Structure 1
Amino acid sequence: MDTSPNKSNQTKNTTKLKSVYYSNWLLFLAIIYTLYFAQSLIIPLLLSVLIALLLSPLVTGLYKLHVPRAISSVVMLAMLATPFTLIGVELVEPAQKWAKLIPKLSMHLTEQVESLSSTFEEKETTNTIKKSAFFSWFSSKNEPKADEEKTGYAVTKRIKEGGMELMIETLGAAPVFFGQLLGGAILILFLLIFGPQLFSAFVKELPTTEQREKAIRLVDVTQKQLSKYIITASVINLVLGLSTASALYFIGLEDALLWGVIVAVLNFIPYVGSVIGAVILCLAGMVHFGVTPSALIPVGAYLVLNIIESQFITPTAMGKKMLINPLIIMLWLLICGWLWGLAGVLLSVPVLVCIKLVVSELGIWKNWLRIIEAGG
């Protein structure tokens, strides 16, 4: 029996599968390449879409009350931006003050480490020091002091150079940042004003009534759930920031409002944000109270509040629809942080929640959805 046609078909199928496999990998690498190198475009676009989704129900509600979309969009965006602007202006001076204190803390910690190191070396070489004590009596007594001065000068110089480099990088990135900020604000306004008409036109072009209803339901559910998540997370983080600021104020730590704002912003980053907040408050405590046990009081107060928030308040407020496996969140944070830096880390969870809602509503990738939700 001649099986050559079957073998030929199998060879063709194998070749076809390999070509599809390599094509998928090339497509995946192309997407990663685009996401990485187009971050200056993608990050403002994602942020604008998220803010537009958040404000769209309010603008639509005002439109039903015969308020033009252009007016309500400008008012809503101004109401959202004004508090952040006022807080930013209020915190400029405290941030500059603490930025100047951190190098002093670094020098102090360097001196402490050098002191401990020298003490340890002295204990290890006690016999050698005793034997050479007579000869070292005749040496210059200013040499150790000169070495300390050289070390301190080198540390100070390096800190100043690092501060100058950071300042130059910040000033160089400022025009790009403000350009992206202005472009994002304009894009949000256009999405709020003209987005609904564009979506209606898109839905009308769909071939079947079922597809039209599915598209409308998908956008409606995603918008409501994502808005609920963003608002709930923002309120929780705001309460955590205010509670932390109040606790630090009663403890006596200077500029408690600054630390409360930092804690609230960092809490948008799951797991990692609380660790960074604890490190920052530990450094602030050492600057204010010195390298003493009292320096741990601010970070201790923050950790108590953070545990209450993360273990009781957030799981209750978010509900089951927002369940996501912690390992998935950490992997997603690493990927977004590698692709887009700090901005990607801050946007990672809202984007992941949006993807999860879309997949759930479309009813696709059900196995992957169960994996994402497992242990959440």
Structure 2
Amino acid sequence: MNTSSEPGDSLEKQAGISLREARQTQLLKVFLVMSVIYTLYLAKTLFIPLVFSAFVALLLSPLVALGRKIYIPRTISAFVLIGLLIAPFSFLGVELVKPAERWMETLPKISAQITEQINEISEKFEQEQNQAEIQAEAERKQKEAEEASFFDNWFKDDEPEAKVEEVKEVKENVVTGQIKQGSIEIFLSLLASAPFLIAQMFGSVILILFLLIFGPVLFKIFIQDFPVVVDKERTVQLVGQIQKRLSNYIITISMINGLLGIATATAFYFLGVEDAILWGALVGMLNFVPYLGGLISCTILLMVGVVQYGLVSAAFLPPAVFLGINILESQFITPAVLGQSFRLNPLIIILWLAVMGWLWGVIGVLLAVPILVCIKIILEHLDVLPHWVKLLESEG
């Protein structure tokens, strides 16, 4: 009997060991993912310039290779391309400095004005409510006066209106002060982070330059000499295809967002909206963030309309014009230009934006969709995790 039960016991032990090993493997995978996320979060000041520089270098490297074919040295072509890339943004930045400074300086005043206008509207509703409360208080006191003695009524305080007005004035002052203080704190935080942002931008430019000059040589040595690359020819083809598709995506979406900004600025100029170039540049940049960028742009433009026109129906003109242009771009132009190759599920995009915003802040939100497209392209060309690819490109 003991000999007959040994094979069954050994099978049960093997099954238990294999189950234990599977659970340990799953736990190791979870810990690996958590460690990667933790590293990306802690080292974001390092990874953000690296990722941004890699995308720009990936975009410009075909032009450097083209210059190499016509006997232009990489150093010269890299410097020329960097100059051509920086020049328009520098010119646009110089043009937008004064309007941006003016809006940042007047932000506390604008907040106070909007608060006052909102208070004027809310006062009309509060007056009716206060009148009803005062009338109810008067009726209650009149009833108490009829029941109480003459001497008790003689010493009672009968000034509810003065108390209500005093409380309302205190509330308005508190709300206005909080809004002003919050606006000043935002301005000071932006001012404090400006030197660090400038340093990151300068470091990114230097890194892009060195990637364009020395990156292909290092990549060639890595492919030829490192034993980790088994199928060298397929790896070169894979990197070339990823570079081509990702470059097409970045160039296309940048042109679409640039045309969106130009169209918005032109429409605002003819409508008489102040600082039309500033708002065109802002909506073009925010449009790199799908869905949320348009919503933020509409909110900002609504505030601009309220500041310029007041709390009237004309205040809805700037966001309404932008919304019409944005719908035309997002529903017709972008799908027709990009086609189905870069299709992504809207819910996946929103969740990915939330994750990247938590990890890397505003820059992470701007880089989220290009990173997600890059991940999708790599998975497609490596022919791995097809279920994840199907999940990413599933229709909304």
Q: Same fold (TM over 0.5)?
A: yes
- CA distance 1:74–1:132, shift in 2 (3 Å): farther
1:157 maps to 2:182: no
Aligned to 1:86: 91
- The percent identity for this pair of structures is 39
Aligned to 1:197: 217
- Give 1:90 shift: 1.3
> Partners in 2 of 1:10 and 1:148 — Cα distance?
73
- CA distance 1:359–1:145, shift in 2 (3 Å): same
> Partners in 2 of 1:55 and 1:287 — Cα distance?
41
**Matched residue type, 1:370:** K
**Matched residue type, 1:13:** S
Aligned to 1:360: 380
Aligned to 2:44: 39
- Preserved CA contact (<8 Å) 2:134 2:161: no
Aligned to 2:274: 254
- Residue 297 of structure 2, aligned match among 266, 277, 301: 277
TM-score by structure 1 length?
0.92
- Give 1:364 shift: 1.1
Aligned to 2:15: 10
Query: Max radius of gyration: which structure?
Result: 2
> Partners in 1 of 2:284 and 2:131 — Cα distance?
46
**Matched residue type, 1:291:** L
| Stretch deviating more after TM superposition (142-151 or 28-37) | 142-151
- Preserved CA contact (<8 Å) 2:134 2:160: no
**Matched residue type, 1:19:** Q
- Preserved CA contact (<8 Å) 2:130 2:164: no
Aligned to 1:71: 76
- Preserved CA contact (<8 Å) 1:238 1:264: yes
- Residue 115 of structure 2, aligned match among 83, 88, 107: 107
- CA distance 1:9–1:191, shift in 2 (3 Å): same
1:221 maps to 2:229: no
SS of residue matched to 1:374? coil
- Residue 267 of structure 1, aligned match among 283, 287, 294: 287
Aligned to 1:168: 188
> Partners in 1 of 2:202 and 2:243 — Cα distance?
24
**Matched residue type, 1:10:** A
- CA distance 1:146–1:87, shift in 2 (3 Å): farther
Query: Deviation digits for residues 166-220 of structure 1, max 9, x if unmatched?
Result: 2332233223212211211111111100000011111112669981111111111
Unaligned runs of 5+ in 2: 143-152
Aligned to 2:319: 299
- CA distance 1:25–1:166, shift in 2 (3 Å): same
- Preserved CA contact (<8 Å) 2:229 2:235: no
> Partners in 1 of 2:49 and 2:120 — Cα distance?
44
Query: Deviation digits for residues 252-282 of structure 1, max 9, x if unmatched?
Result: 1111111111110111000111111111111
> Partners in 1 of 2:140 and 2:270 — Cα distance?
54
- Preserved CA contact (<8 Å) 2:286 2:293: yes
- Preserved CA contact (<8 Å) 2:223 2:229: no
1:50 maps to 2:55: yes
> Partners in 2 of 1:128 and 1:97 — Cα distance?
49
- Preserved CA contact (<8 Å) 1:269 1:345: yes
> Partners in 2 of 1:301 and 1:178 — Cα distance?
34
- Give 1:286 shift: 0.8
| Stretch deviating more after TM superposition (184-193 or 103-112) | 103-112
SS of residue matched to 2:231? helix
Aligned to 2:332: 312
Unaligned runs of 5+ in 1: none
- CA distance 1:266–1:209, shift in 2 (3 Å): closer
> Partners in 1 of 2:325 and 2:138 — Cα distance?
54
**Matched residue type, 2:338:** M
- Preserved CA contact (<8 Å) 2:298 2:322: yes
Query: Deviation digits for residues 336-361 of structure 1, max 9, x if unmatched?
Result: 11111111110000001111111111
**Matched residue type, 2:62:** P
Aligned to 2:133: 125
- Preserved CA contact (<8 Å) 1:91 1:258: yes
The RMSD of aligned alpha carbons is 2.6
> Partners in 2 of 1:348 and 1:373 — Cα distance?
16
1:348 maps to 2:368: yes
Q: How many residues align?
A: 376
Aligned to 2:202: 182
- Residue 97 of structure 1, aligned match among 96, 102, 115: 102
TM-score by structure 2 length?
0.87
**Matched residue type, 1:254:** E
SS of residue matched to 1:321? coil
> Partners in 2 of 1:185 and 1:7 — Cα distance?
61
- Give 1:294 shift: 1.0
**Matched residue type, 1:340:** W
Aligned to 1:332: 352
**Matched residue type, 1:320:** Q
> Partners in 1 of 2:68 and 2:269 — Cα distance?
43
SS of residue matched to 1:364? coil
| Stretch deviating more after TM superposition (53-62 or 79-88) | 79-88
- CA distance 1:215–1:145, shift in 2 (3 Å): same
> Partners in 1 of 2:193 and 2:228 — Cα distance?
49
